[in-house]
């Protein structure tokens, strides 16, 4: 088993802990948070967009707590660190962990500064360490099924694809502080819509052109996005829309609609266990798998990579860097 630590114990840190504790290849030995005593309180708060389960209290009690990354790196024999802190700390924390010779699972977005992201990629190569960025949608069963339909030509050629992702403005954890440091998180473009931007690039490649409108919100100048991608060689259009300009209690929702030559399909987290398949004469519902399983799937994949000491194919840092550049292309 590989010994790992989690840096940052907000919603994503809790989600990582849940998945690590379920994985037989990983041993969670430390949690690093600036307020270690608040770990149990955070677990009980249940914040975030997905509910992935409840961590076993007795297991958590056996895991060491640190308020400092430096102390954890000094006193623990670690193989990897899962970094789940706010975007403006990604470069500093990832660089420190790589310099200590540890593998890194870094939550998206990579780095808002492209040069810093490139530096981290070079450093991971120099240290021969795995650096994987958490683009979880790639690992979610409903989105994996869409990719299979496209790749296998199940319903003929894809003609149009629309993806959406909406939430209320986040108000849990440290998100209220982000309102006073306007733009530091990257806003909905880099923190929310990046999921769909990365996914479309992953399944279809770079677009020929992007047309985009955006609106400001409480976190950045681009907290609502409406974009149209054109693929000239495929006679294909892709729409990406979403944001977090709604009130905090607004229900999270994400999904897609796709028009193929022979059928149209729809998936939404609001009815998250099915994919609807429509033709001119019928409407069929098929199991979609649960989107929340993607959180476990991506960490299981990272565990395989570090156990086999092989670079991730699904979420190479170079691909994540390209996703950041694509986000900027929308502006």
Measured CA to CA in angstroms, residue 212 lies from 2, 168, 198, 204 at distances of: 44, 21, 16, 18
Whole-prediction pTM value?
Answer: 0.93
| Residues 6 or more apart in contact with residue 166 via CB below 8 angstroms | 242, 243, 244, 246, 250, 252, 253, 254
For the CA atoms of 15, 317, 188, 158, what is the dihedral angle to 10 degrees?
-100
Residue ranges and CATH numbers for the domains of the chain are 2-134+295-309 (3.40.50.720), 141-291 (3.30.360.10)
Res 44: pLDDT: 57
Q: How far apart are CA 320 and CA 326, in angstroms?
A: 10
User: Are 142 and 291 in contact, with CB atoms under 8 Å apart?
Assistant: yes
Per-residue pLDDT of the chain (331 residues), as tens digits, is: 999 999 999 889 989 999 999 999 999 999 999 887 777 666 555 555 444 455 566 677 789 999 999 999 999 999 999 999 999 999 999 999 999 999 999 999 999 999 999 999 999 999 999 999 999 999 999 999 999 999 999 999 999 999 999 999 988 767 777 787 888 889 999 999 999 999 999 999 999 999 999 999 999 999 999 999 999 988 999 999 999 999 999 999 999 999 999 999 999 999 999 999 999 999 999 999 999 999 999 999 999 999 998 888 888 999 999 999 999 999 9
Q: For the chain, state the CA radius of gyration.
A: 20
Tell me how crowded residue 164 is: count the other CB atoms within 10 A of its CB: 18
User: Are 91 and 187 in contact, with CB atoms under 8 Å apart?
Assistant: no
Res 61: pLDDT: 74
Q: Which tokens is 18 given?
A: 């849940």
Res 314: pLDDT: 84
């Amino acid at each position: 088993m590989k010994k790992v630590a989690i840096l940052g114990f907000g919603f994503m840190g809790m989600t990582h802990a849940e998945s690590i504790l379920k994985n037989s290849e990983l041993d969670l030995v430390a949690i690093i948070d600036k307020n270690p005593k608040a770990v149990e309180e955070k677990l009980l708060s249940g914040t975030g967009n997905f509910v992935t389960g409840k961590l076993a209290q007795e297991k958590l009690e056996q895991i060491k707590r640190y308020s400092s990354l430096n102390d954890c790196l000094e006193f623990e024999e670690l193989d990897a660190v899962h970094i789940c802190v706010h975007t403006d700390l990604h470069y500093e924390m990832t660089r420190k962990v790589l310099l200590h010779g540890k593998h890194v699972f870094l939550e998206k977005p990579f780095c808002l500064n492209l040069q810093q992201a490139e530096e981290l990629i070079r450093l991971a190569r120099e240290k021969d360490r795995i650096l994987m960025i958490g683009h979880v949608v790639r690992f979610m069963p409903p989105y994996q099924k869409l990719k299979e339909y496209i790749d296998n030509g199940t319903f003929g050629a894809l003609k149009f694809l629309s993806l959406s992702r909406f939430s209320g403005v986040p108000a849990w954890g440290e998100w209220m502080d982000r309102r006073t440091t306007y733009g530091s998180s990257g806003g909905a473009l880099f923190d929310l819509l990046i999921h769909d931007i990365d996914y479309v690039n992953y399944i279809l490649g770079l677009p020929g052109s992007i047309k985009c409108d955006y609106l400001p919100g409480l976190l950045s100048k681009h907290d609502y996005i409406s974009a149209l991608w054109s693929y000239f060689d495929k006679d294909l259009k892709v729409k990406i829309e979403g944001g977090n300009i709604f009130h905090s209690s607004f229900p999270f929702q994400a999904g897609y609609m796709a028009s193929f030559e022979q059928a149209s399909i729809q998936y939404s987290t609001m009815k998250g266990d099915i994919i609807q398949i429509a033709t001119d004469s019928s409407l069929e519902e098929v199991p979609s798998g649960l989107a929340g399983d993607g959180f476990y799937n991506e960490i299981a994949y990272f565990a395989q990579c570090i156990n086999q000491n092989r670079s991730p194919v699904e979420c190479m840092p170079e691909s994540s860097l390209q996703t950041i550049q694509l986000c900027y292309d929308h502006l």
